[in-house]
Structure formats: structure tokens, C-alpha cells
């Protein structure tokens, strides 16, 4: 199964490009769920999730819809979260878990998080802190890209988040790698000019993919599906609804290239 959606949905600049003018914000998720069957929640990186908020989101999603969400920044960037914080994070997921709506947790690390034995041990510790919940890690620095790293993820039952982003030598390249199920893919766009230097955070994600750029990812996603069974793909080039177009394009490419019998 391949599930395709976007990284976040609550963007004011999507009114017009995606959301109809006049549609209440309280109805945005319902509208979104008419087009996509999965959503990556980014707000949990900035503030710890609470069960009441997730319960409200769950009620707006149709049967079969699934959510993924980011681990809190204290777990991936500051890396100073205590055990109480992890327990609270897991407990807050109860509404999604009870309805079988939780697809995966994404632990996204910054480019400064480079390969080392200490950092590898930290990743393995995340597996213990989140128990048996599906967990994928997104690594930005290329120093991690080595066979021993992928094998360590497999042994720890940690998923590797495959990414598309500008082709800087310091960043990880586009790889289709399965280390656990589900497989996970994020498409950030390729705005190299604004990736490191920008006045506003959204400028980094101001990018429109062409069908030619997405075609290799359609093939990679099929490979991931074959090996992992389930794949989550999220478009993160969110400025002015470009992520919606990316997700739709990729879905069409996959429909044109069904899995081999």
C-alpha cells in the first residue's frame, strides 16, 4: 500500500490554490481528507501533542485515514527530553492508536547531527523510548550514508526516511532504502538558492516539481512498496499549495505504472 499526502495542511497560503475561499479553518482537514488518505503533522515538533487535539483531528478524518507526526524538537534537536516527556508523547497518541489511525512517528534530525557512535546510540535509544510504535528517522548529513548505518537501523527496527532535497554534497542523496516497515519518503523540493539562506522559513520550500523530476521517485516508491509493504510519501514543498500538486502528480505517475504482477 502506498499512501501519499502532504507535510502539514493548515497553511493560510493554501486558500485559493487548494482550499476554497470562505471555507472555515475548522473544515480544512475534512476538505483535505477528500483528496488524500494520509497527513504528516508537523506541529508536534514545536509543541507536545495532546490527546484532545488529536481526538478532534481524528473525528474529522474518514475511516481508513492515517496520520504520521514528528517527534518533538526536544527529542531530535535539543535532545534533552526526559523519560516523562516521552511517556506524555506516547500517551497523547491514544486517540489515533485506538482508531488505527497512527501510521508512524518521524524523528527528524538537523544537519549538525552527524555520524558518531554516540549519535548512533542515541538513535537506538529512541527505539526503546517509543516502544513498539512505528518509528522512522530522517538524517540530513551525508556522513551517515554507509552500509553499517542501514544495517544498524534494521537491527533496531528503525525506519530510514528517504528524502528528496537540493543536491548539496553535505546532504544525503536520494535513496530508496528500507530498514523497517513502513517505508517513509519526504519530498522537500530543490530550492538550492534558498535552502541555506532565506529571510523566511517558507522560502526553502518554495519549489514546484516537474513530472520528469518525480518519475524516478515513482519508481523508487514502487521498490519501497515491494520490500516494505506500506509506504508513506509526503510532499513538503508547501508554499502556496505546491505540495498538493506534487502529491497529485506523483499519484498519477504511480497509477500509470502499476506494480508488476
Find the CATH number of the domain harbouring 80.
Answer: 3.20.20.410
79: in domain: yes
Does residue 261 lie in a domain region?
no
What's the pTM? 0.96
Q: Based on the number of CB atoms within 10 Å of its own CB, is 143 exposed (0-12), middle (13-18) or buried (19 or more)?
A: middle
Residue 219 lies in a domain: yes
In a domain, 188, yes or no: yes
Distance between CA atoms of residues 73 and 7, nearest Å: 16
DSSP calls for 192-219:
HHHHSS-SSGGGGG-----HHHHHHHHH
Task: Compute the C-alpha angle 166/167/169, nearest 5°.
Answer: 130
Q: Tell whether 120 is covered by a domain.
A: yes
Residue 157 φ/ψ region, left for φ over 0, alpha for ψ in the -120 to 50 degree band, beta for the rest? left
Range of the domain at 84: 2-256
Give the number of domains in the chain.
1
Q: Is residue 124 part of a domain?
A: yes
Q: Determine phi and psi for 236, rounding to 5 degrees.
A: -110, 5
pLDDT digits (tens, 9 = 90+) for 58-101: 999 999 999 999 999 999 999 999 999 999 999 999 999 999 99
Over residues 144-198, the pLDDT tens digits come to 999 999 999 999 999 999 999 999 989 999 999 999 999 999 999 999 898 888 8
Q: Which residues pair with 4 in a beta bridge?
A: 233
Amino acid at each position: 500500500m502506498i499512501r501519499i499526502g502532504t507535510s502539514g495542511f493548515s497553511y493560510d497560503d493554501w486558500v485559493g490554490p487548494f482550499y476554497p475561499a470562505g471555507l472555515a479553518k475548522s473544515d480544512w482537514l475534512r476538505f483535505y481528507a477528500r483528496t488524500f488518505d494520509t497527513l504528516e503533522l508537523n506541529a508536534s515538533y514545536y509543541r507536545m501533542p495532546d490527546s484532545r487535539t488529536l481526538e478532534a483531528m481524528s473525528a474529522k478524518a474518514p475511516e481508513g485515514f492515517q496520520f504520521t507526526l514528528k517527534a518533538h524538537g526536544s527529542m531530535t534537536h535539543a535532545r534533552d527530553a526526559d523519560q516523562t516527556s516521552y511517556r506524555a508523547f506516547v500517551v497523547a497518541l491514544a486517540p489515533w492508536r485506538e482508531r488505527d489511525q497512527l501510521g508512524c512517528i518521524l524523528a527528524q534530525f538537523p544537519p549538525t547531527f552527524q555520524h558518531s557512535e554516540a549519535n548512533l546510540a542515541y538513535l537506538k535509544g529512541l527505539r526503546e523510548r517509543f516502544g513498539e510504535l512505528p518509528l522512522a528517522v530522517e538524517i540530513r548529513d551525508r556522513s551517515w550514508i554507509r552500509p553499517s548505518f542501514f544495517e544498524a537501523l534494521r537491527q533496531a527496527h528503525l525506519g530510514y526516511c528517504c528524502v528528496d532535497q537540493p543536491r548539496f554534497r553535505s546532504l544525503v542523496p536520494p535513496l530508496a532504502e528500507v530498514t523497517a516497515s513502513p517505508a517513509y519518503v519526504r519530498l522537500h523540493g530543490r530550492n538550492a538558492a534558498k535552502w541555506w539562506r532565506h529571510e523566511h522559513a517558507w522560502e526553502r520550500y518554495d519549489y514546484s516539481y516537474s513530472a520528469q523530476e518525480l518519475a524516478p521517485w515513482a519508481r523508487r516508491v514502487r521498490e519501497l512498496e515491494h520490500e516494505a509493504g506500506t509506504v508513506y510519501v509526503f510532499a513538503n514543498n508547501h508554499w502556496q499549495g505546491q505540495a498538493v500538486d506534487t502529491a497529485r502528480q506523483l499519484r498519477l505517475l504511480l497509477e500509470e505504472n502499476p506494480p508488476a504482477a
